[in-house]
Amino acid sequence: MDFSACSNLALKWAADHIVRDRDTLILVTILPEQNYESGEMQLWETTGSPLIPIVEFSDAATMKKYGVKTDAETLDIVKNAGKNQPKVEIIMKIYWGDAREKLCEAVDHIPLDCLVVGNRGLGTIKRTLMGSVSNYIVNHASCAVTVVKSKGQH
């Protein structure tokens, strides 16, 4: 979850097609590695944050201490997922580092049954130069991966 349009599309797809009663929906967010001299984030840099319940990641002050800036669209999707399936537990886990590596680590550490990721739709050249997170996850994650393409992609 990077709070982009393609990430929100993947979240909505997962909420509409996969999440069922008594499931746990875990939003995994990867932030760039930073040099933390002090603070709580330094404690979690290697293992990721504690699991954060929906009531906490809906609070801007709580998210600020983790360095995460949520958006209204993401919160709306998450709240609607909870309304549609009232017994679904919705939580967030934050990691710091390379998104490709940390998502694969999350599969085993949390553990996760499946991943749903968005696809930014990079062209061939950009994908070759920058690397595709979704492509890497499909080839390296030890669970099922669904890639949700943005509208207009083929």
Q: What is residue 130's predicted lDDT score, i.e. its pLDDT? A: 44
In a domain, 139, yes or no: yes
In a domain, 63, yes or no: yes
Look at the block and give the residue holding tokens 């537990």.
89
In a domain, 154, yes or no: no
Q: What is residue 124's predicted lDDT score, i.e. its pLDDT? A: 55
Share of the chain above pLDDT 70, in %: 81
Look at the block and give the residue holding tokens 């954060």.
52
pLDDT above 90 (res 69): no
In a domain, 75, yes or no: yes
Determine which of 51-65, 71-85, 114-128 has the lowest per-residue pLDDT on average.
114-128
Closest Cα to residue 120, out of 151, 152, 150, 154? 150
- Cβ-Cβ contacts under 8 Å for 146 (sequence gap 6 or more): 10, 13, 14, 18, 114, 115, 116, 117
**CATH code assigned at 117:** 3.40.50.620
10-48 core/surface letters (b: 16 or more CB in 10 A; e: else): bbbbbbeeebeeeeebbbbbbbeeeeeeeeebeebbeeb
- Residue ranges making up the domain that contains 111: 5-149
pLDDT digits (tens, 9 = 90+) for 10-43: 999 999 899 888 899 999 999 887 655 545 566 6
Q: Hey, what are 99's tokens? A: 């998104």
In a domain, 91, yes or no: yes
In a domain, 140, yes or no: yes
Q: Hey, what are 97's tokens? A: 């580092």
Number of domains in the chain: 1
pLDDT above 90 (res 61): no
Q: What is residue 117's predicted lDDT score, i.e. its pLDDT? A: 92
